[in-house]
């Protein structure tokens, strides 16, 4: 399947995209992770996007679309993928539609995880990431209490753009520029909306169930 995850920062897109990727046997492609990796390794791309990411603003469409197109051309994305954090503007959604249409492989569904803004802020302010392997832990996870990653033992830190001030800016950017993308997929009859205010397994079960009409038949790795 070819899926897009939508929702406020903090809605749980990354968590659900990871679980779905394992369930369906397809890669999760996160533009946020790609930008953070570029920043950490101080590449040319990292230098180009640094200011935007640190301020909680969107990286220009041209750079982002080129990065995603390059990533989607990799062999592991041939039989499906889950895009997490892209598209974030209507021009990005249009570029993605055109690229995939040219290959005859359109997006099957866009999953919108619905949470309210205050809940999103609470989750963002409470989450921590491993400074070594990048694993993310939600507010209240035992790893956050211990300050250590249970996968690699690395120290947990707050993402620089997860401070409350930057998080509020990211939410504003989302409302202005990304929410219209939800309407874009609704108009294409590709939108699935789930209530993200529940426990992780419940949200996952709801997503899997909601994807059935879009071609998911429950078999891992299936790519209609
Ligand atoms: P995320 O981890 O998805 O919240 O992304 C972190 C940051 O990366 C965002 O606040 C933006 O600065 C940048 N970013 C990620 N994805 C995109 C995108 N599709 N378009 C523009 N900027 C993006």
Return the pLDDT at 43.
94
Neighbours of 194 (CB within 10 A): 23
* Average pLDDT score over the chain: 93
> Residue 195 is encoded by which pair of tokens?
């209530």
Q: Verify whether ligand 1 is closer than 6 Å to residue 136 (CB atom).
A: no
Is 71 one of the annotated active-site residues of the chain? no
φ, ψ for residue 220, nearest 5 deg: -60, 140
Return the pLDDT at 3.
98
Return the pLDDT at 219.
46
Name the pairing type of β-strands 109-114 and 28-30. Answer: unpaired
* Under 8 Å between Cβ of 147 and 156: yes
Tell me, yes or no, if the pTM score tops 0.95. no
Q: Minimal CA–CA distance to 181: which of 87, 49, 72?
A: 87
Which among 9, 59, 172 is the best mutation to test ligand 1's pocket, defined by most ligand atoms within 8 Å of the CB?
59
Considering only residues 218 and 211, tell me which one the structure prediction assigns the higher pLDDT: 211
The string of pLDDT tens digits covering residues 43-67 is: 999 999 999 999 999 999 999 999 9
User: Given a cut of 80, is residue 222 above it in pLDDT?
Assistant: no
Return the pLDDT at 134.
86
Do the domain assignments include residue 126? yes
Do the domain assignments include residue 220? no
Ligand 1: distance of its center to the CA of 10 in Å? 12
Is 13 one of the annotated active-site residues of the chain? yes
Q: How many domains does the chain have?
A: 1
The string of pLDDT tens digits covering residues 69-124 is: 999 999 999 999 999 999 999 999 999 999 999 999 999 999 999 999 999 999 99
Q: Verify whether ligand 1 is closer than 6 Å to residue 10 (CB atom).
A: no
Per DSSP, helices labelled H in the chain are: 13-24, 31-40, 44-55, 61-72, 90-102, 117-126, 142-146, 164-173, 179-187, 200-211
Mean pLDDT across 191-206: 96
Is residue 224 very low, low, confident or very high in pLDDT (cuts 50, 70, 90)? very low
Domain carrying residue 175? 2-214
* Under 8 Å between Cβ of 16 and 203: yes
Q: What percent of the chain has pLDDT over 70?
A: 97
User: Given a cut of 70, is residue 206 above it in pLDDT?
Assistant: yes
The string of pLDDT tens digits covering residues 131-182 is: 998 888 988 899 999 999 999 999 999 988 888 888 899 999 999 999 999 9
Return the pLDDT at 221.
43
φ, ψ for residue 114, nearest 5 deg: -95, 115
Do the domain assignments include residue 152? yes
Considering the candidates 28, 71, 123, 170, report the single residue annotated as catalytic. Answer: 170
Is 198 one of the annotated active-site residues of the chain? no
Return the pLDDT at 90.
98
Return the pLDDT at 161.
87
Q: Verify whether ligand 1 is closer than 6 Å to residue 64 (CB atom).
A: yes
Return the pLDDT at 9.
92
> Residue 61 is encoded by which pair of tokens?
């469409």
Is 168 one of the annotated active-site residues of the chain? no
CATH number at residue 140: 3.40.50.300
Q: Verify whether ligand 1 is closer than 6 Å to residue 161 (CB atom).
A: yes
Do the domain assignments include residue 221? no
Do the domain assignments include residue 143? yes
For helices 44-55 and 164-173, give the axis angle rounded to 10 degrees. 100
Q: Minimal CA–CA distance to 58: which of 92, 81, 7?
A: 92
Handedness of CA 10, 13, 18, 20 (dihedral sign): positive
Considering the candidates 2, 13, 71, 128, report the single residue annotated as catalytic. Answer: 13
Do the domain assignments include residue 222? no
């Amino acid at each position: 399947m070819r899926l897009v995850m939508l929702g406020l920062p903090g809605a749980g897109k990354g968590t659900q995209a990871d679980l779905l990727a394992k369930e369906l046997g397809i890669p999760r492609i996160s533009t946020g992770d790609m930008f953070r990796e570029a920043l950490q390794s101080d590449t040319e791309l990292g230098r180009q996007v640094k200011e935007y990411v640190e301020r909680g603003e969107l990286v220009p469409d041209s750079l982002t679309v080129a990065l995603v197109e390059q990533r989607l051309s990799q062999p592991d994305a041939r039989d499906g993928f889950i895009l997490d954090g892209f598209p974030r503007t209507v021009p990005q959604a249009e570029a993605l539609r055109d690229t995939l249409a040219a290959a005859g492989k359109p997006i099957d569904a866009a999953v919108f995880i619905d949470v309210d803004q205050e809940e999103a802020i609470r989750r963002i302010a409470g989450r921590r990431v491993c400074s070594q392997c990048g694993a993310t832990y939600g507010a209240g996870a035992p790893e956050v209490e211990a300050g250590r990653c249970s996968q690699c033992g690395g120290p947990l830190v707050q993402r620089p753009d997860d401070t409350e001030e930057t998080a509020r800016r990211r939410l504003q950017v989302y409302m202005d520029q990304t929410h219209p993308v939800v309407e874009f997929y609704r108009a294409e009859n590709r939108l699935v909306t789930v209530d993200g205010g529940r426990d992780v397994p419940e949200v996952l079960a709801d997503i899997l169930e909601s994807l059935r009409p879009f071609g998911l038949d429950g078999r891992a790795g299936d790519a209609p």
